[in-house]
Each structure stands twice: as C-alpha cells, then as structure tokens.
Structure 1
C-alpha cells in the first residue's frame, strides 16, 4: 500500500508580522534571529519615545511635555506587551503597515501644533505624544514581544502563560532603554546638524520599512512619504523647508533668521518685521531680544539696538555697587554664568572689563555672536557651569609620580584660585531656573571665586509667595551671609480691587557683596549708559522696586536653604512655574509662531 502523502502543518494563527528571513541568515538559529528582531524593535520604540519629547518641547516646553511621560510610556508598553498574549492575527497584516504610519505620524503631530492654543497644556501634550509616541510604541512593543517567544516556546506551547514568561525580557529591555535614551538621542541630534527630531522620526520609519515588511509596495510608499516630508515640511531642515516656513511666518510679520537643535534643545533667531525687534528662542522660552536700530529710530535719537528686557540692564548695575576700593574698568575681571543674547556681557566688554563667559550651549554662543553682535573680545568657556565652577573653586593638588613622590618640587604649591571683581549669574532653561545652580554648595563655590571686595548679581524668576522661590532667595542670601539686597525688575502691580489677586511672579535681581557692608549703588554717569536709552531707564535699581527677602529674620531661616539632595523634591513646583511661564510666553508671541518652529 502506497504511503499517504505528507501534509504541511496547519497555521495555528499565532503568528506575527515579521520580515521574511534572509536566506543568507539561514545558518543562524531561528530563536536567535527572533531575538535580534525583537531587540531592534525595542530600540526603535525607546528612540521614538525620546524623539517625541524633543518634538513637543518647542511648542509646550520641555517640562510640561514631560509631565506623566514615564507613567504613560510604561502604560503603552504594557498595552503592547499584554495584547500579544491574546491577539495574534494570521499573517500579522496590521504590523506590516506600521512603517507607513511611522512616516506620517510626525506630520500629523506637527499639524496638531497649530491648535496648541486651544488644546492648552493638558490636552496639547497628550494629543501630540499619542500621535508621535504611543501610537508607535504600542505596536512596536507588541511586535517585539510576539517575535521573541524564546528559542523553544513556539514549539512547546502557545498559551498565554508561556507568552507571558517568554516576552518579559522585551518589556524589561524597553523600560531600561527608555530610561537611558534621553541623553543618548539628544547628544546624537546635537552632534549632527542635518538631524532634528522630525527627520529622526522619518529615519525610524525607514528602518522599520527595511525590517518589518516583506511587501515592496509598503516599503516604496514609506520611502516616498519620508522623502517628501523631509524636503517639503517646514519642520524639516532642507532649504525648501526653510523657505516654506518663512512663507508662513512672513504672513504673521515674522522671519526666521537661523535655527538649529543643540544640547539645550531647539534654538532659533526670529525677527518681527513689523515692530522691528529680534529674539533668540530656546524651546518654548526666549533667551533675550533687541529692538533693531532702524532709520526711523535713529531719527528719534537711538544710537544702538536696545534690549527688550529690563532685567538684563539691571544685572549690569553690579558694576555700580559701592565697594572699597573702587575698581577701574581696565583692571576689573568679570565672570558671567549664562549668556543668552549677551546684553550684560556686551556692556562689560564695551566698558573694557576682562570678561569670562560660561555657557553650556555652543550654539547659543554662536547665535549671540552672529545675530546680536557679541564681541569676540572675551574668554568663552563652553561647558557645564556646575562642574566648571566647582573645579575652579576647588582645584586639585598636583598629581603624584608613579613612585609616590609629587610631580612638583617641595614645598607643594596649592593651585591659586582665579577670582573676579564682578559675577553675574543669569541662567534659565525649560521654562524654569535650573535648581542645581541655586543650591547652597554651588553658591558657596561661586562666592569663593569673588575677590574679597567683589560683588555679584543673580537673576531668579518666580512667584514670591511660593515656598520654592522663598527658599531659593533665602539660599542666596545665606550664601553671602546676608550681605544682599533684593529688587524686582519692574514696579509691583497694584490690584484694582481688594478681591482681585496681585500677580507676584516677576524677575528678581539679588545684589550681593562678598565683604561686610550694606548694598548701595553710586549714581551712574553718562559713560555708564553706553548711549543706551533703555539703560537710562532701567540700569539704576530704583528704591521702589526693592522688596524684602521672604524668610530673612524669621526663625529657622538658616535651615531653609536648598541642598543638592533636595532638588528632586521640588519637581512639582518647577512644573507649575514652567506652566505659568508657558502662558506668559504666549502673550509675548502668538501661539501660531511658537507652533511653527
């Protein structure tokens, strides 16, 4: 009797969309190939998570965009992970189309930015993050978990319990990578000038088309969509993208002069062609701006471009503080922590003061030079201010030779600390001041860089009634042994009725002395104004702008200082401050301009 014809096994239906295995990899065990594909998908999901955060930051601010991100991304991963236990369509057709969605998602996300005013800081980030992140992470984690069932699970069981234990590594890997990716992706985008989050999204889509689909039509469609968007979307960085962006901005009386992603986020220089002023933008905040010197303004008596913010000129008043002996400008040394557009540094340089500028972002320094006339006659230190200040305040002793002897002849010379006559501390990021630059340890190191009769000016924006603002100002005051005075950059607003609350949010300037004595200022001369009309109005701190330190003289004030280990405890107040700043920025520039980055 002839043997019966062998029949192929029936498809159990527990398959997932994975690319056809390359014949060149036939030597590799199937389990190892599945593990490699699963790992690739998890890496793409973690990269997508970080790219999404970078995409939202210019429109909603980096801090508001990150609220609840970790919880939401973990929930998305769990949804994708658990779905694959119960749903495995034959052929896995839905996942085949994921590359096309990945190519379209960034454009739809950017479209949602045009409704950021109406969506607000609650629904805006939710909608944007769903489009750019969660709608991709869920299917990616699903496909990764389904692809990696372990080397022998497919042959032994297809039950939920087996899938549960076999796919645990994919979920754990994703959560670990999502925790590590922010710094990696940010540095990568900052290193390559042709990259930005929008293009990075498209690159992810291209990789998915290469690895996830076996259909040529889907791959061609993904490549076509990604190419068109990279070239023509205003959120790309091709010459065509910039032209399209400026055509849109010009209708709103704005022009983009320069833009680049860097280690602090998205940076750009914009000019209002109607009111003739120029600003530098960092994500959803302004680092400064200038009224441009036009022919009409020359006829009105202007001689230079003028700052749009009074606080920057008030910081320059540190040079007017009464000290003994007075330091001639030609002999003075100044240290500036935080550059912005360089209003105060430019004034110091023009006065002939030897000026050192510490700025974290080299692109900020470049834009200040190219578009805000920052003179080259200064010492730039383009690094993290925290590490630099601590290293300058506590220089290391000479290293020992291999035999244990000192590299320098006895007696050992302790490295000398370079000290300054003036220090200006003006830092800002993400819609809130970076708290590590206001801790007691940092301020102590900063004070040690002052000469015995040196003076300092520190800028802090906040609400005077909030505990965090009170604590930061008290930390500054205690760091200088109470030799400080506190000023607003404008007159306190008055309520029109007893029931109407008074806005207590403002820029606060703290002037401090290193030596014992009251904080007083000499009267400025014509030379101090540097031909600036704005300096004549704002340089000298007005007595009516002075305010009391909230905690000075109160019991236990010496303990109310910000310590390094406490910075994370103030996350919630930092979030509230950033949200409030977001609303203020929307008054300075319309939402449509913030959305068209």
Structure 2
C-alpha cells in the first residue's frame, strides 16, 4: 500500500469537508464584508488595513485553535454559525456611529469588533476539523501541523477568489445576493455545515436583519430606509448593488435636487425644483464641472471654421448621471458612451433624462479603446470627454500615458479632449497627471470648477482641455444662445473662467515624469489619502444619516 493510500485510509471525510467548508465560507465573507463597509466609509479606506487584519486574525485562529477548543469546552464550533448570524446586526449598529468614529478609524474598529473575531473563530474551528479529518499524528508533529496548514491556506485562497468572481457576476441580482444578503447566506451555510442547538441565540439577530436592517433590500427594510431618509429631508427613488458598488438615486425634498450615489460618493445630480416656465433642454447639473465639460464644443479648430454639430462625433468615457453626454446628444452630436456599470447607465436613462439616441458600450474603457484601435478603420472623434472620478480616487489605469496615447489615436487631427481630474492640485498625483497628459497632447489649458480657497489643501475638480494639434494655441469661441440649451445655469458656468497657471504643477518636484501602466501601484498611497479627504467633503454635502443608512 502506498503512502497516499495509507493517508486516505485514515481520513475522516466528514470532519475534513466540514473544516474545508468553514474555511471557504470565512474566505467568501472577506470581500463581502468590504462591500458592506464601502457605502459608509468608501472603498479605498475600507481596504486600507483589511488584508493585514484578516491575515493576523487567521494566523491567531490557527495557532490558538487548541487553546480556543479547550477554553470553550469543545463548543466553539457550535458558536460559529451563531456569531455569523450576528455579524450584520453588530455591524449595522457600528456603522450608525461612523460620524463619531471617523475615517479610517471607523472601518478598523468595525472590523475588529464585527469581522475579525469571525475569521479567527472560523480558522480555529476549521483547523481542528481539518487536523482531525486528516489524522496525521502517526507521521509526527511536523506533518500533523504543516500539511493541514498548507491545505487550509489553499482552500482559503480558492474561497476568496471564488467570492470575487461570484460577486462580480451576481451582486445585486437578487436580495440574497446583496452584500448584507450574502452575509446572511454565509450564516445559513455555516449553520448547515455545523448544525447546532445554540442557533436559537441567533433568532433576535435574524429577525432584526429581516425587518429593520435597512442595508438588506427587502420590502420591509426598504420602507424603514425611506422613513429614516425622509427625516433627513431625502426620498429614496431606487437602489441596487452593482459591479462598482452600491448605487442609489435620492431626491432632496427641501432644496429640490436629485443625485446618484455610488458607495460614499456622488456620481452627479440635477436640479429638480425650478421656477415657473423655466425648461432647459437638458436639466441643470448641481455641480458646475459638468457644464464646464460641455465647453469642449467651444474649443476652436485649427482651420478657423466652427464645427458643425450634426457632422461631429463624441466619445464620453464615464457616464455619471449623464449630464454632459445628454448635452452633446441634444446638440445633435453623434455620441458614444463608455460606462463600466450597467446599473449606472440604467439609472441615468431612467431617472436623469439621458437621451436614448446614443451608442452605449457597457464595459471597461481600456477594453473598448483597445478593441476600437484594432478595427481596420477605427472611428475617430471630434470630441473626447474623460470623466471617470468616483469614490475619492481615479481608476489609475485610465490616467496612464499608454491610455492617453490610445485616446490620442482615436481623436481627429483637430479634435479636442476634456479630462476631469478631482483631487488636491497641490499634491504629487495632480502634477503627475498633468505631466502625463501634456506628454501626449501638445496644447492644453486647465480650469478649476470654482475659485481657489484659502485652505491649506486645494481639493477641487479640474478640467484639462487639450488639442491634438499644436498648430495654434487652444482658444474657446464666444458662445451663442444655442450653446446654453435654454439654461441659465449654463449661461453662468459653461464658459471656462478659473484658469490654472501650469506653473503650479512644475513646483511639485520628484517622482516619475509620467505615469506608465506598469507603475500605477506607486499612486495607491496618494489615492488612499485623497479618498480620506474626499470622505470628509462628502460628509458636508449630505447628512451622516444618509450615508450610513444605505
């Protein structure tokens, strides 16, 4: 008999699969827990210490498994599914204190109390089951400890990868496949793996989750959410979790505006309360930057003759609520919109008046651009609008020199590109971004959304307008009434006003000259800092309770 056959002969299959199942469920719950943190703290801050905390909790669970087993009188494994059912309830009440805990302290405390103990207990219980299932005592302590440890690591890694794949495919498609619903599903599966009479202790948490936890998208919980939001002067229009985060549409009942939310950020908004007989052809945005982006039409071509909208093509990367592409479409421009999240496109069309007569590419922008360049005769555009900011940090892959060079190839000879950058323009990432853009486009001008403040930081929306050609400097023509689309808001904000002196970015020294695709990891630290700053700004835009009750 071979050594493998000898090992298999002594395997306790029931204990082994139970241990593996608990490890897989613990791994699955890791990215799910991050999803539940992101609407309150933002995606980047939620991730900051998560990996370190999970690794520490798992290591502690493995090396303390015998101690935990003895301390609990061998009952720890029966407490595990009970704790799993309590995780969403404990987390719910901790998230309600985000305004007190702050950021990034809040995510850390929430995970320390609500999630890391679950990981520790899962690994400890699974470790004992796997060891007992393999039954390797006769091969010595080294084999008894290290073979189960290695196997457990493989199972955990597989479980985490499966969770990310599952989430990307099914998140939001069914109430049980929402982030809080998946927490509940993990608890249900844990109780199926380890049946326990102690599950009676989980009944209060289950009842609360199904009736009062507003993060679970059921009829009763949605009613509770609407009641809470109404007290803050808001009304829920719609919500769904999607590939980029938690998406919702909210109406402000007092000031009269509608916004689309993605996790702890606003993708944009429109004014809904207007004076009598005022009917702009495209609704006024709540942020001036979206009208500022429309000024890409005002950039004069080199040949001196104004472009004809009906003969022009535009590519918009990043949809938001669709204000800018809606304006371009209304002007008669053939517009293609690239948006990675289909729910964002659905809500922009349904709730923000995005016209249907456009080409929608619901995919990653890098995939779209790469494929477009590989076609025999790539479509070239008169205008490109690059507006992909969300959650306090840009997707860095869309700010590399390689991506801008590809966009340059899609731009007509006298075409114009408008790039929205949101961040602190006194910091290194802003300077790096400007240098990268200028390395591709020879003639650029930069404008901020509003006048500079006296604060030590300078977080703002900046639009960088660039021409493909350097034959003449970039200039804007004087607008005519048709450019404003019957909008008083556009009369005020369409024409760029607050120009930024490029010298501002030359004073930031050090670092790389341009951002290359293989070096995007260098910006993560800066992105985390920007996300925390953006979190504070968002907390001034909407009340704490609106962010906490999603």
Unaligned ranges ≥5, structure 2: 1-7
Q: Structure 1: how far apart are the matches of 2:119 and 2:507?
A: 53
Residues 7-63 of structure 1 show CA distances to partners (whole Å, capped at 9, x for unaligned) of xxxxxxxxxxxxxxxxxxxx9965232221111011100011111100000000000
Matches within 5 A, 1:482-561: 482-493=442-453, 495=454, 501-516=455-470, 517-542=472-497, 544-548=498-502, 550-551=504-505, 560-561=513-514
Secondary structure of 1:510's counterpart equals strand
TM-score scaled by length of structure 1 = 0.85
2:3 is matched with none
Q: Structure 2: how far apart are the matches of 1:300 and 1:418?
A: 38
1:431 is matched with 392
Contact 2:328 2:335 in 1 (8 A): yes
1:242 is matched with 222
Secondary structure of 1:442's counterpart equals helix
Alpha carbons of structure 1 residues 221 and 276: separation in structure 2 relative to 1, 3 Å: same
Contact 2:68 2:76 in 1 (8 A): no
Residues 251-309 of structure 1 show CA distances to partners (whole Å, capped at 9, x for unaligned) of 11111111001000100001111111110000000000111134xx2267878632110
1:477 is matched with 438
Secondary structure of 1:523's counterpart equals coil
Contact 2:11 2:134 in 1 (8 A): no
Secondary structure of 1:465's counterpart equals coil
Matches within 5 A, 1:318-333: 318-323=296-301, 324=303, 325-333=305-313
Residues 375-400 of structure 1 show CA distances to partners (whole Å, capped at 9, x for unaligned) of 101110000001111221233xxxxx
Alpha carbons of structure 1 residues 150 and 97: separation in structure 2 relative to 1, 3 Å: closer
Alpha carbons of structure 1 residues 575 and 553: separation in structure 2 relative to 1, 3 Å: closer
Matches within 5 A, 1:157-196: 163-173=144-154, 176-177=157-158, 180-181=161-162, 183-190=164-171, 192-194=173-175, 195-196=177-178
Secondary structure of 1:97's counterpart equals helix
Secondary structure of 1:515's counterpart equals coil
Unaligned ranges ≥5, structure 1: 1-26, 396-414, 496-500
1:119 is matched with 101
Residues 305-325 of structure 1 show CA distances to partners (whole Å, capped at 9, x for unaligned) of 321100111110000001024
Secondary structure of 2:214's counterpart equals coil
Question: What is the alpha-carbon root mean square deviation over aligned residues?
Answer: 2.5
Q: Structure 1: how far apart are the matches of 2:311 and 2:68?
A: 76
Contact 2:16 2:134 in 1 (8 A): no
1:420 is matched with 381
Q: Which deviates the most, 232-241 or 111-120?
A: 232-241
2:86 is matched with 104
Count of aligned pairs: 538
Greater CA radius of gyration, 1 or 2?
Answer: 1
Contact 2:250 2:259 in 1 (8 A): yes
Q: Structure 2: how far apart are the matches of 1:434 and 1:550?
A: 24
Matches within 5 A, 1:119-518: 119-149=101-131, 153=135, 156=138, 163-173=144-154, 176-177=157-158, 180-181=161-162, 183-190=164-171, 192-194=173-175, 195-215=177-197, 218-219=198-199, 222=202, 225-226=205-206, 229-294=209-274, 297-298=275-276, 305-323=283-301, 324=303, 325-395=305-375, 415-480=376-441, 482-493=442-453, 495=454, 501-516=455-470, 517-518=472-473
Matches within 5 A, 1:20-31: 30-31=11-12
Q: Structure 1: how far apart are the matches of 2:436 and 2:317?
A: 18
